[in-house]
Structure 1
Amino acid sequence: MKRKLATQSKLVIVFTLLAIGLWNCQEDPNGTGMELLPGSDVKTVRQDVEKESISAYTEKDMLLRTDEPSYNLFGTFNDPLFGKTTSHFATHFRLGGYPDFKDITQVDSLVLYLRYKELYGDTLTMQSLKVYELADAIYLDTTDATGTGDFPYYQDVDLKALANPNPIGELDFYPTFRMDSTETDTLIQELAIRLDDALAQKLANADSLDMINNDVFTEFFKGLYIESQGTDNEGALVAMNPYIERVGKIYPDLRLYYTYMTDKDTTNRDSVIYRVNKNAARINSFTHDYTNTPFADQLNEHPSEPDSLIYLQTTGGLRTKINIPTLDNWKDSVTITPENKKIPYVINKAELIFQVDTVASDFHNYKIPSSVVLSAIDGSKEEGDEGYLYLPHDFTVSPALYGGFYNSEEATYNFNITHHLQKIIEEEDITNDGFYLSTLYQNERARRVVLKGSSSHVGIRLEVTYTILK
């Protein structure tokens, strides 16, 4: 099974790796482009603010790749604004070494431990989980330099179809969120799910050849599927870090407890731990139901007019298409000399500004993304093709100046597209085919935000400072 890695997923990886370390860099953005200007040739500097021509539409996001995320999400969340999101996951469990079962006299229990530090939603709704043993194998993906994966999985994967039909464990629980005594960190919360004794016996009776290495073991025991059940109340999405080390433990894990004899009169208890680590295949599935949401009509058919609000959501949810047709006017508005020579404008700064609707976002109760990403579209390619989405050249020049980080003082996300606009002016192969605005950390974080749309009073603003040469 080979599928091309979604272009947007790779853009997110690139943006994340470079931007995190550079966002504090300082540089005067108003000086951008001035190094191109001979001092004696400056004619005039002007400013332009564009709002009226910009259009923005909320769309369903492209299919999201969901294997091996930094966090696995599970739960059901009935968002009061964004509709219903449900997340399930499947995972391998691996041997930490060859199990020493000693002289087992009794298999006591098999317990699945899930540990988490973050939830998105409320703590008042009871959540329900069911656990199934996988019947079909899942695989750890490897991706080459071209972005092609051997075993990529996407949000629409039918994990239940890979599992045995009967559950082997169930749990009803209320998610909890507690701080430590200094209130500087959240405490790790633990869920313990007792699994069926038949699986415990299967693991205890495993032949030595079934445990000779982890490749063989994961064929013998293919893993577990954790299914979130529906709820009529708000609910929550829970984020589980698969391998945080704390006091010698690795999270989550599967523990087989048993009793053994030390001599003919003495019994003791011990356990074997099956672990999730970086070599374990882990896969999420996400489903969304936008019925009765205020933007449902936008998703079902492209509206004739832009909406006053636009919506972004992680977990393969929502993105926004941005069109700025007046960018082409800059290419057409170059200065023509008497010798019929074109002298283009020099763009000192071009900034695209998105205003957060803090009331609609209800950001005190629902975290908004700390950063978002603006990708340019190459209209000569089809969606899903390599290079259909690309990061503007400004990101390559300086991820810090490119922007996309949330400005809490202004409640905005700002993007510097100075070099991108300059390239539209100067280079024939750079075309103005629009942009997509989307979230980061899509397969591992529950986040959403509402922005002012292009038809709102605030609108989406493109502010350009430019210089015309003699």
Structure 2
Amino acid sequence: MYNISFFKKMLVLASIILLYSCDKDYNAIGGDLIGDNHFDLSKYTSNVIAYNQKIGPIQSNNLAVNALGIYKNPAFGTTNANFATQLVLASPNPEIGANPVIDSVYLTVPYYSTLKSTNADGSHEYELDSIYGESKAKIKLSVFESGYFMRDLDPIGGFQEPQKYFTDQNADLDNAKVGSRLNNDVNLAQNDGFFFDSEEIVETTKDDAGKVTTTRSVPAMRLKLDANFFKNKIINAPAGKLITNDVFKEYFRGLYFKVEKADGSDGSMAMLNFKSTNAKITIKYKEDLASTTGGSPTRVEKSIVLNLSGNTVSLLEQSNTNTAYTNAMISPDTSLGDEKLYLKGGEGSLAILDLFDKKDLKGYDSNGNLTGPNGISDELDDLRNPADGKKWLINEANLVFHIDASAMANSHEPNRIYLYDLTNNRPLVDYYDASTNSNPKKAKGIFDGNINKEVVANGRGLNYKIRITNQIRNLIMNADSTNVKLGLVVTEDISTSASSKMKTPNAFISQAPKASVMNPLGTILYGGKSTVPEDKRLKLEIFYTKPN
């Protein structure tokens, strides 16, 4: 009898804990839901006015990731991505001994890659990431000494503001390049026939005893540079020019990377982190080390490392722009919205979204009584003041953007898009979710914006979904919340929410997210216009509960 009674007590206790847990989970999803009442789950859809805006030349200095190469995008046109960077001495004021002779000078910038396999001989096979265009498509790559000095601060702003550099300044850098190209090796893969190679970098060295050592490293852009230039510029630098990096950056103003089309190739483009600790120029040389016993000096190996971590600028040129894209930028329909939304990274374009019908014929006072127009959408007013007096409790609110599959059929698709408060140029409240992911590109998973693809091998994109539950909850529950305009862009890094300034602001936008400037890709989405097929049309979906 005791065992039966104990079992009953434990069963009751377990039931209470289970019910409490279920109620707790339900409230976490539904926000302010009250578990003791009965609720009916309902769905409400609202039309969205969405239209295109051209960005044009935009601030592109000191980006975390930069494009280099040529990408022919059938949906948008061709992008040429050049690049310029200052150089920084890893160890300022190096001591250079007697009789220095350079052995080699190499520029190394690692690619984004994934290790696929390791062979029995210890070699590795890699797959490159963030390469756009045909595999091993060739481009003409030239690296020049730059004569263009990139300041830290803007003198027009009284040296109080950081200096801005823009995507359309390629002519400035090209005109300021100095001398002949530095990657002048006879191997055409170093210059006129350059391509992004997935092979690992293998180096062998032999010591004085004849022992051979093999070093393997990840795939990288590895260019052999002109040793004679670096002998004159670095080894034989005038006194005091290497003493500090401030002096050095004025003396040696950096490098300018210029890409051109190679014969018979459309080219390809790579995303590169030039500021990586492994992105550098290594000057290897030998010099005399004086004997401490009065004998002959000994030849010793030394090196000087130049990091690519000074000021940088991404230089983008658009050409052969697709006609449909060009026309969409000329006359956006700001009243009814556009049928197609063209999101393009770099100095491309974004979409502006207006939520809720703009008709304003009435309002409500603090007691819920009808008044005249109040500057707030009648639709939003009605959601805030339901006829039955029962306030909605918002479970979830989404925007689903359907991809124009036919228009994007032959183009690389961006993995993620980003929605933000365009009125104030800041993230939405839903951006600050607490979700984590080991893959930084999948961070902020609740907010989402990741591409959803067909569930087949090499499936194409279907749509992107972005959750704005808290944004809509605040709008409906709080009468003082402002229904701001929203901006939609492609993004290279969801964790980067800062903005870059446009060179020429317009009536709608003066800046755009920096992570969009870093992304060279674009996507074409269906808008919210009534002429768009119902199953593809952009709508705001609100899932809510209402107490009986």
The residue that corresponds to 1:120 in the other structure is 132
Which of 446, 464, 473 is residue 422 of structure 1 equivalent to? 473
Whole-Å Cα distance in 1 between the matches of residues 408 and 397 of structure 2?
27
Which of 36, 44, 48 is residue 48 of structure 1 equivalent to? 44
Which of 518, 524, 541 is residue 450 of structure 1 equivalent to? 524
RMSD of the TM alignment (CA)?
A: 3.9
Q: Does 1:69 align with 2:63?
A: yes
Q: 1:35 to 1:107 in 2, by over 3 A?
A: closer
> Any conservation in 2 of the 1:79–1:234 contact (CA below 8 Å)?
no
Which of 234, 241, 248 is residue 203 of structure 1 equivalent to? 234
The Cα shift of 1:440 comes to: 1.7
Q: 1:187 to 1:359 in 2, by over 3 A?
A: farther
The residue that corresponds to 2:543 in the other structure is 465
Q: 1:283 is paired with a residue of what secondary structure?
A: strand
The residue that corresponds to 2:194 in the other structure is 174
Q: 1:269 to 1:241 in 2, by over 3 A?
A: farther
Whole-Å Cα distance in 2 between the matches of residues 323 and 336 of structure 1?
22
Whole-Å Cα distance in 1 between the matches of residues 340 and 250 of structure 2?
49
Whole-Å Cα distance in 1 between the matches of residues 102 and 218 of structure 2?
32
The Cα shift of 1:75 comes to: 1.4
Q: 2:446 is paired with a residue of what secondary structure?
A: helix
Whole-Å Cα distance in 2 between the matches of residues 174 and 207 of structure 1?
34
Q: 1:316 is paired with a residue of what secondary structure?
A: coil
TM-score calculated relative to the size of structure 1: 0.74
Whole-Å Cα distance in 1 between the matches of residues 430 and 244 of structure 2?
48
Whole-Å Cα distance in 1 between the matches of residues 539 and 274 of structure 2?
41
The residue that corresponds to 1:373 in the other structure is 418
> Residue 226 of structure 1 aligns to which amino acid in structure 2?
F
Q: 1:331 is paired with a residue of what secondary structure?
A: helix
The Cα shift of 1:430 comes to: 2.7
> Any conservation in 1 of the 2:77–2:318 contact (CA below 8 Å)?
yes
Q: 2:401 is paired with a residue of what secondary structure?
A: strand
| 1:378-421 Cα shifts (integer Å, max 9, x gaps) | 3xxxxxxxx2x232222235544222222335833212222212
Whole-Å Cα distance in 2 between the matches of residues 101 and 262 of structure 1?
13
TM-score calculated relative to the size of structure 2: 0.64
> Residue 70 of structure 1 aligns to which amino acid in structure 2?
A
Moved more, 157-166 or 84-93: 157-166
Q: 1:466 is paired with a residue of what secondary structure?
A: strand
Percent identical among aligned pairs is 20
> Residue 71 of structure 2 aligns to which amino acid in structure 1?
F
The Cα shift of 1:28 comes to: 7.0
The residue that corresponds to 1:238 in the other structure is 270
The residue that corresponds to 1:434 in the other structure is 485
> Residue 306 of structure 2 aligns to which amino acid in structure 1?
R
Q: Does 1:346 align with 2:403?
A: no
| 1:18-44 Cα shifts (integer Å, max 9, x gaps) | xxxxxxxxx97996335244744x675
Q: 1:451 to 1:133 in 2, by over 3 A?
A: same
> Residue 224 of structure 1 aligns to which amino acid in structure 2?
L
Q: 1:415 is paired with a residue of what secondary structure?
A: strand
The count of corresponding residues between Structure 1 and Structure 2 is 413
Q: 1:230 to 1:401 in 2, by over 3 A?
A: same
After superposition, residues 11-22 of structure 1 pair within 5 angstroms as none
| 1:307-349 Cα shifts (integer Å, max 9, x gaps) | 54333232232222223333841332444689xxx65433222
Q: 1:129 to 1:271 in 2, by over 3 A?
A: farther
The Cα shift of 1:298 comes to: 0.8
The Cα shift of 1:81 comes to: 1.9
Q: 1:162 to 1:94 in 2, by over 3 A?
A: farther
Which of 310, 332, 335 is residue 382 of structure 2 equivalent to? 332
> Residue 48 of structure 1 aligns to which amino acid in structure 2?
Y
Moved more, 108-117 or 401-410: 108-117
The Cα shift of 1:227 comes to: 1.7
Q: 1:430 is paired with a residue of what secondary structure?
A: coil
Q: 1:360 to 1:267 in 2, by over 3 A?
A: farther
Q: 2:407 is paired with a residue of what secondary structure?
A: helix
> Any conservation in 2 of the 1:163–1:225 contact (CA below 8 Å)?
no
After superposition, residues 34-183 of structure 1 pair within 5 angstroms as 34-37=31-34, 39-40=36-37, 45-50=41-46, 53-61=47-55, 64-97=58-91, 98-104=93-99, 111-117=106-112, 118=129, 119-123=131-135, 125-139=137-151, 150-158=162-170, 159-160=172-173, 163-164=176-177, 166-169=179-182, 171-178=191-198
The Cα shift of 1:353 comes to: 0.8
Which of 270, 280, 287 is residue 317 of structure 2 equivalent to? 287
The Cα shift of 1:162 comes to: 7.5
The residue that corresponds to 2:452 in the other structure is 407
> Any conservation in 2 of the 1:76–1:231 contact (CA below 8 Å)?
no
Moved more, 410-419 or 110-119: 110-119
The residue that corresponds to 1:384 in the other structure is none
Q: Which runs of 5+ in 2 are unaligned?
A: 1-23, 113-128, 155-159, 184-190, 201-216, 359-376, 435-443, 456-460, 493-515
Whole-Å Cα distance in 2 between the matches of residues 299 and 168 of structure 1?
38
Whole-Å Cα distance in 1 between the matches of residues 192 and 532 of structure 2?
44
Q: 1:287 is paired with a residue of what secondary structure?
A: strand
Q: Which runs of 5+ in 1 are unaligned?
A: 1-26, 143-147, 181-185, 379-386
Whole-Å Cα distance in 2 between the matches of residues 124 and 188 of structure 1?
13
> Residue 80 of structure 2 aligns to which amino acid in structure 1?
T
The Cα shift of 1:372 comes to: 1.6
Q: Does 1:252 align with 2:241?
A: no
The residue that corresponds to 1:381 in the other structure is none
The residue that corresponds to 1:296 in the other structure is 326
The Cα shift of 1:295 comes to: 1.6
> Any conservation in 2 of the 1:31–1:348 contact (CA below 8 Å)?
no
In our comparison, the structure showing a higher alpha carbon Rg is 2
Q: Does 1:214 align with 2:292?
A: no
> Any conservation in 2 of the 1:104–1:261 contact (CA below 8 Å)?
no
Q: 1:120 to 1:394 in 2, by over 3 A?
A: same
Whole-Å Cα distance in 2 between the matches of residues 231 and 423 of structure 1?
55
> Residue 198 of structure 2 aligns to which amino acid in structure 1?
R
